[in-house]
Chain A
Amino acid sequence: MNLDLNLDQLIQQLAQQLKDDPIMTHAPKMVGIRTGGEWIAQRLHSALNLSEPLGVLDISFYRDDFSRIGLHPTVRPSHIPWTVENAHIILVDDVLYTGRTIRAALNELFDFGRPQQVLLTTLLERPGCRELPICAHYVGARLECHQKIKLSGPDPLQLNIIEDNREIA
């Protein structure tokens, strides 16, 4: 089932909010979290016309549930093609849910260096189910906590409601 959300519009809106943010005066660098976050980040990266190439984080090695569920079968290396030290970073993910993915992403980022600033933006947010004290600066749209969604892409980029009970955030 498709959600009644206009993805292009949401991404446009996020790009505009980022353009108006003071971070733009600091030559920001962008990182997307694999896989959905990377797709959103690709759109935002070109909309903002950032000079530094897009970085990609695969947080599989940093998840806090490795000893409970094991490794994600499709882990690939993270690729940050610039120095994290002192950088102003826009971190992008598709859905902000429990906050655990962002915790893992921050830990991994800090293993590359000490950024000056990390700004979080997510396409969607499922409020009310946060398990860690993490919130995003800019969010495209808010869902209900029970609305589990899956982004498919990158072309075409599509949002679907998940009917089964598997956790995806």
Chain B
Amino acid sequence: MALVARDIQLDEHKRLKHLLTLEGLKAHHLNEILDLAETFFDPATGELKKVPLLRGKTIMNVFFEPSTRTRTTFEIAEKRLSADVVNLNIATSATKKGESLLDTLWNLEAMGADMFVIRHADSGAAHFFARHVAPHVHVLNAGDGRHAHPSQALLDMFTIRKHKGDIYDLKVAIVGDILHSRVARSQIQALSILSAREIRVVGPDTLMPTCPEALGVHVYHDMDAGLEDVDVIIMLRLQNERMSGARLPSEKEFFKLYGLTEQRLARAKADAIVMHPGPINRGVEIDTAVADGPRSVILDQVTNGIAVRMAIMAVIFSNAAQRQQEETAS
């Protein structure tokens, strides 16, 4: 018997089967997705071309939590790959009538789903789905509780690579509500896997996890010091919906201490870029002048999100095809 349980998102040849978290993945897993994402852009026009790769596949976007950017970019990515797309907003649907999660899942599977893209407020929800789907069905985690948001972190790595080149040479600061952020957790993992030179987290003690140093990051409570000489600034949204009780005196005070203004931005390198996973709270974590300024790549992140999500799905279905071919051959 194996002493360590096999990572359920990898197959026996350590190829990606589901994407639930970046934890446990190697640089080659990430680079394969990032490299493939580049090929979806038409070099002549810069547009994302529609390709017939996933024709005949049915992908269900199952969202138990509201989302605009992630759900829409997943849907566009699926359509660009020519898959059949079904969107389910479960918050307003069957579970309200008392159906259990697993019954919902099995019913959707019986409708012919080949892939589930899942967002859920509970950490571990995507793993739970992945453990119970049929062997040919894939699960993509589109955000589970405070745990992980791997496709967001991958599109962020893609954006950094595009604007700043190789990640191993870079200093990156992640600023704001680290405690409640699944995005931050996945970003830290991605940056570590790709060997970023320095990863900093910046924010008040009340919005830090218990022992952030364990993640391999440098902790700063002073914004100016945290931004000194960095190449990339990633601002996070204050997640009021995940906070139980007040962890902050006021949004105004947060902006005063941790809001990204042009003055603070001047602490970073002269060519540093500013990122934000969205939705942005103007005047809370970021000043309008910075969000709309020349260093902001926030909207480019959104476009890149489509290409990266196309690549994640293409890689997973490609691996499945290879696995099937090996099984037929043996």
Contact = CB atoms under 8 A, between A and B. Distances in A.
17 contacts: A58-B39, A61-B51, A62-B52, A66-B53, A67-B56, A67-B317, A68-B321, A69-B321, A70-B320, A71-B314, A75-B39, A77-B39, A77-B42, A78-B42, A79-B42, A81-B44, A111-B50
Q: Which of B39, B42, B320, B324 has the most CB of A within 10 A?
A: B39
Nearest to A79: B43
B41 interface: yes
Given A58-B39, A77-B38, 19 more contacts: A61-B53, A66-B318, A66-B321, A67-B56, A67-B317, A68-B321, A68-B324, A69-B325, A70-B321, A71-B315, A75-B36, A76-B39, A77-B39, A77-B40, A77-B41, A78-B42, A79-B44, A80-B44, A111-B51
Contacts of B317: 66-67, 70
Contacts of B36: 71, 75
Q: Is the interface of B mostly helix, strand, loop or mixed?
A: helix
Q: Which of B40, B44, B49, B317 has the most CB of A within 10 A?
A: B44
A70 B322 CA distance: 6
Interface string A44-84: 00000000000000100110001111110001111111000
A81 B314 CA distance: 26
A75 B51 CA distance: 13
Contacts of B42: 77-79
Interface residues of A, number: 18
A127 to B, nearest CB: 28
Contact of B43 (A61, A66, A77, A107): A77
A67 B314 CA distance: 11
Contacts of B324: 68
Interface string B40-65: 11111000011111001000000000
Contacts of A77: 38-43
A70 B318 contact: yes
B46 to A, nearest CB: 11
Contacts, number: 49
Contacts of B53: 61, 66
A143 B311 CA distance: 38
A67 B321 contact: yes
B321 A107 contact: no
A111 B163 CA distance: 29
Nearest to A82: B44
Nearest to B320: A70
B168 to A, nearest CB: 23
Interface residues of B, number: 24
Contact of B319 (A70, A75, A76): A70
Q: Which of A71, A80, A81 has the most CB of B within 10 A?
A: A71
Contacts of B39: 58, 75-77
B199 to A, nearest CB: 30
A23 B50 CA distance: 30
Interface string A93-113: 000000000000001000100
Contacts of A69: 321-322, 325
Interface string B305-330: 00000000011011111101100000
A52 to B, nearest CB: 12
Contacts of B50: 111
Interface string A129-152: 000000000000000000000000
B160 to A, nearest CB: 21
A107 B53 CA distance: 12
Contacts of B318: 66, 70-71
Nearest to B39: A77
A77 B311 CA distance: 13
A80 B325 CA distance: 33
A167 B324 CA distance: 18
A101 B230 CA distance: 48
Contacts of B49: 111
Interface in A10-68: 58, 61-62, 66-68
A75 B314 CA distance: 12
Nearest to B32: A73
Nearest to B50: A111
Nearest to A83: B44
A78 B36 CA distance: 13
A35 to B, nearest CB: 15
Q: Which of B52, B56, B324 has the most CB of A within 10 A?
A: B52
